Amino acid sequence: MLFFLHKILLLLPPEVAHHWAIFLLKLYQKFIILFLETKKSSSAALHLKEVRKIRFGNRLGLAAGFDKNAEVFLPLSHLGFGFIEVGTVTPNSQEGNPKPRIWRESPDGLINQMGFNNCGVEQFKKNLKKNRLHCSVPILANIGKNKITPNELAIQDYKSLFSMLAPEVDGFVVNISSPNTVGLRELQSIAFLEHLEEVAPQKPLWVKLSPDLDMDVLKELFLKIKSSQCFLGCVLTNTSRQIALQEYGRAEGGYSGEKLFERSLECVALCREIFNEKKSIIAVGGINSVVRAKKMRQEGADLIELYTGFVYKGPALVKEIVKGLADESFELSF
């Protein structure tokens, strides 16, 4: 049944397919709440009691951008993901860029220029509260600044998102690497990381970086993150503007999927070399098989995330990778 639904979705235009996927997941969510036994214990609360520890159901998570409004993390966890990154959420709701804004690119890639379309933090928090108690895997909130917030004031957006969402989530991912909000990627700097340190909550905190940064710049940022008490590590990587331009001639948007893998792998390897065992790495970018997931693990990733691979291969890929990694749960201290 899931197999056929997934095949039908792939026949629809990409954003229409995404809306239908969310609709179907919402139906599944109703079924779960009505008919399946759910734990009724907030993992956020559990992890708070377990002083400075976060326990992942398994090492495979869903990357940011799929459940932008935190509406369907519960059914997604039932598909087998060991954690879910919801968002990107911004303080105020945003429409995002005009449509069309996602394209399928062969082989097994996507280019998107969504532009942080989301319901805003107030509604996002309500959505989280509604189903958080039923969900037993960690939920990380991916946060970003509003399009109209100038970079000089961006830290205020992150600060308010931290304080609004800290009670509801198990950790945060700071998104300063989306190519679809003008100027956002300039925040990938030591100075901005220092501002983040001043406002960071007592929660696990990762910084999500772009694969298009020079290795020297990445190295500096990794060193800063390593030396800071505030950050638990990095999410590597976001989508690539460079691949969108060089391989598909698109000057706008970010590429994800098949051709991103090598670059993301390179970033993970460099990061692990610098972090040694001190910090954690969540790897994302072109992972669409057990072999690729294992390669990321070998290069030093603690956790793995999917987006485009999940779009093309569907729920079967989740089961395959979880089984292939042959891990049960995974615990991180912070």
Binding residues for ligand FMN, rule: CB under 6 A, are 63-65, 68, 88, 102, 110, 112, 114, 142, 175, 178, 208, 238-239, 256-257, 260, 284-287, 306-309
Cβ-Cβ contacts under 8 Å for 255 (sequence gap 6 or more): 105, 109, 110, 111, 239, 240, 241, 243, 244, 247, 248
Closer CB to ligand FMN, 300 or 309, in the complex: 309
Phi then psi for 56, rounded to 5 degrees?
-95, 140
Q: At what angle do helices 215-227 and 190-199 cross, to 10 degrees?
A: 30
Nearest approach, Cβ of residue 37 and ligand FMN (Å): 31
Nearest approach, Cβ of residue 286 and ligand FMN (Å): 5
Closer CB to ligand FMN, 168 or 305, in the complex: 305
Nearest approach, Cβ of residue 197 and ligand FMN (Å): 20
Residue whose CB is nearest to ligand FMN in the complex, by number:
65
Closer CB to ligand FMN, 32 or 60, in the complex: 60
Sign of CA dihedral 181, 267, 316, 322: negative
Nearest approach, Cβ of residue 221 and ligand FMN (Å): 16
Active-site residue numbers? 178
Closer CB to ligand FMN, 42 or 288, in the complex: 288
DSSP H helical ranges for the chain: 2-9, 14-35, 43-49, 73-78, 121-132, 154-165, 190-199, 215-227, 241-248, 261-275, 290-298, 308-313, 315-325
